[in-house]
């Protein structure tokens, strides 16, 4: 049986792996379909401490992985399809591998930004299409930006982006916003924010290198229009990657793992959660890394107590 398995390789999982490996616990780290997590979708990261000249998201993640490997973390590519957390050893079914059994488990599977699924969107991620205003807003100083969505995330992103942009246009598919009143009021009272309500995005237009506009259809008039913009922030929500847990770990209404406040402990002793899979508030690389460190330290203590208990039993 393994001592510890880490599922997910964003900043949370990789930080946990670095700490666990340095503690000689030989973690096995399972990388899913998006190795490196959401940061691999961004270009320049300028707010991760320690890099005064910035670093690209993919490079930051490569460095973290290398650091974990250097101390002995083992990596395996695979998709966790099922877990059984009912016994003392947790069982994991991973596509392409034989069943894994582990004493402790760190869940750092993150959350994925929902995308519009329209032509031009995927190809232009990092070329004007973004899902993170805090990460990328700075690159649109003095430019016209579009934010898509009508919820609290869209209002928050739009307000934040007015610090940089000359104009932020909120594009929403309905006439009514889903956002809370206070967030709506804040956006409505911001003179830099303009509105395209009842507009459904249908295509991201680019010159082959950078985004140039967002084509929308007005669902009342049926008229098509291209909104000229160099930046499109998709803020239509996130979905935490918790489906494979099949209800065995407590989650909130939105599907995020619930941890005991101030810890990374879940409702099952020996299972810890860190990063965006348990955080829909901050969603930053540095906060994810911080909780990854917490999970590793708590896991270490858990394994020590299990070992002490086993010794008493002998
Ligand atoms: P959300 O409340 O689910 O809103 C998503 C928005 O995106 C909705 O307006 C939805 O339109 C739109 N949308 C969804 N799919 C779309 C598509 N395919 N095409 C176009 N538009 C689409 O998500 P959220 O804004 O991320 O908020 C999630 C939760 O976090 C909420 O509980 C929210 O209150 C909370 N949150 C709070 C704060 C804060 O208080 N500071 C900040 C961020 C988030 P429809 O309205 O037509 O469905």
Regarding whether 260 and 156 lie in a shared domain, the answer is: no
Question: What is the predicted pLDDT for the residue at 42?
Answer: 67
Regarding whether 87 and 230 lie in a shared domain, the answer is: no
- Examine the residue annotation and report whether 299 is marked as an active-site residue of this protein: no
Mean pLDDT of 112-127: 94
pTM as predicted: 0.79
Does 43 have pLDDT greater than 80? no
Question: What is the predicted pLDDT for the residue at 1?
Answer: 94
- SS3 breakdown of the chain: % helix, strand, coil, rounded to 5? 30, 30, 40
* Rounded CA separation 31/307 (Å): 28
Phi-psi group of 208: left, alpha or beta (phi > 0 → left; psi -120 to 50 → alpha; rest → beta)? left
Question: What is the predicted pLDDT for the residue at 307?
Answer: 87
Distance 297 CA to ligand 1 centre (A): 34
- Examine the residue annotation and report whether 279 is marked as an active-site residue of this protein: no
Q: What is the mean pLDDT of the chain?
A: 94
Task: Single out the residue in 217, 234, 251 at which a domain terminates.
Answer: 234
- Examine the residue annotation and report whether 132 is marked as an active-site residue of this protein: yes
Distance 103 CA to ligand 1 centre (A): 38
Does 311 have pLDDT greater than 80? no
Regarding whether 246 and 109 lie in a shared domain, the answer is: yes
Distance 284 CA to ligand 1 centre (A): 18
Mean pLDDT of 129-139: 90
pLDDT tens digits, one per residue of 193-230: 999 999 999 999 999 999 999 999 999 999 999 999 99
pLDDT tens digits, one per residue of 220-277: 999 999 999 999 999 998 899 999 999 999 999 999 999 999 999 999 999 999 999 9
H helices then E strands: how many in the chain? Answer: 6, 19
Regarding whether 100 and 6 lie in a shared domain, the answer is: yes
Task: Single out the residue in 181, 203, 234 at which a domain terminates.
Answer: 234
Q: What is the DSSP letter of 81?
A: E
SS3 call for 229: coil
Question: What is the predicted pLDDT for the residue at 62?
Answer: 96
Pick from 298, 199, 289, 290: which is nearest to 9 by CA?
289
Regarding whether 222 and 143 lie in a shared domain, the answer is: yes
Helical pair 285-313 and 11-22, crossing angle rounded to 10 deg: 40
Residue from 175, 236, 282, 283 whose mutation best tests the ligand 1 pocket (most atoms within 8 A of CB): 236
Helices (H), 107-151: 133-136
Distance 148 CA to ligand 1 centre (A): 10
CA nearest ligand 1 atom 9, residue: 150
Record the tokens describing residue 73, joined without a space. 């973390």
- The helix (run of H) or strand (run of E) holding residue 206 is strand 199-206
Here the CATH number for the domain that contains residue 243 is: 3.50.50.60
Counting from 1 in the atom list of ligand 1, the atom nearest the Cα of 117 is 18
Burial tier of 208 (Cβ tally within 10 Å: 0-12, 13-18, 19+):
exposed
Task: Single out the residue in 197, 216, 234 at which a domain terminates.
Answer: 234
Number of domains in the chain: 2
pLDDT tens digits, one per residue of 4-29: 999 999 999 999 999 999 999 999 99
Share of the chain above pLDDT 70, in %: 99
Regarding whether 295 and 156 lie in a shared domain, the answer is: no
Is the pLDDT higher at 47 or at 170? 170
* Rounded CA separation 211/15 (Å): 34
Regarding whether 108 and 8 lie in a shared domain, the answer is: yes
Does 41 have pLDDT greater than 80? no
Question: What is the predicted pLDDT for the residue at 314?
Answer: 60
Question: What is the predicted pLDDT for the residue at 39?
Answer: 82
Which of the residues 136, 199, 274, 276 is marked catalytic?
Answer: 136
Taking the alpha carbons of 29, 35, 36, 39 in that order, is the dihedral positive or negative? negative
Regarding whether 103 and 12 lie in a shared domain, the answer is: yes
The pLDDT-based confidence of 36 (bands split at 50, 70, 90) is confident
Residue 226 lies in domain: 122-234
**Dihedral angle of Cα 236, 42, 255, 17, to the nearest 10 degrees:** 180
Counting from 1 in the atom list of ligand 1, the atom nearest the Cα of 237 is 26
Backbone angles phi, psi at 193, to 5 degrees: -95, 130
């Amino acid at each position: 049986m393994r001592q510890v398995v880490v599922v997910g390789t964003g900043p949370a999982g990789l930080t946990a792996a670095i700490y666990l490996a340095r503690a000689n616990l030989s973690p096995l780290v399972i990388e899913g379909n998006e190795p490196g997590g959401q940061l691999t979708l961004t270009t320049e990261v300028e707010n991760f401490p320690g890099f005064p000249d910035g670093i690209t998201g993919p490079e930051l993640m490569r460095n973290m992985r290398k650091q974990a490997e250097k101390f002995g973390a083992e990596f395996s590519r695979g998709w966790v399809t099922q877990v059984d957390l009912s016994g003392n050893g947790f069982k994991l079914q991973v596509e392409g591998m034989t069943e894994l059994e582990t004493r402790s488990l760190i869940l750092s599977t993150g959350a994925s930004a929902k995308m519009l699924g329209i032509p031009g969107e995927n190809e232009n991620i990092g070329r004007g299409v973004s899902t993170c205003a805090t990460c990328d807003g700075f690159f649109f100083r003095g430019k016209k930006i579009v934010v898509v969505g009508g919820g609290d995330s869209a209002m928050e992103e739009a307000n934040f982006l007015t610090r940089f942009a000359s104009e932020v246009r909120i594009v929403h598919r309905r006439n009514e916003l889903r956002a809370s009143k206070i967030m709506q009021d804040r956006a409505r009272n911001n003179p830099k924010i303009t509105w395209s309500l009842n507009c459904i995005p249908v295509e991201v237009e680019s010159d082959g290198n950078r985004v140039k506009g967002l084509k929308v259809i007005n669902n009342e008039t049926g008229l098509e229009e291209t909104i000229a913009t160099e930046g499109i922030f998709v803020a239509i929500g996130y979905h935490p990657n918790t489906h494979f847990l099949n209800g065995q770990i407590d989650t909130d209404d939105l599907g995020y793992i619930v941890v005991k406040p101030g810890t990374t402990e879940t409702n099952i002793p020996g299972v810890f959660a860190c990063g965006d899979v348990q955080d829909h508030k901050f969603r930053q690389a540095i906060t994810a890394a911080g909780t990854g460190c917490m999970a590793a330290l708590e896991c270490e203590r858990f394994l020590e107590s299990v070992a002490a208990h086993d010794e008493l039993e002998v």
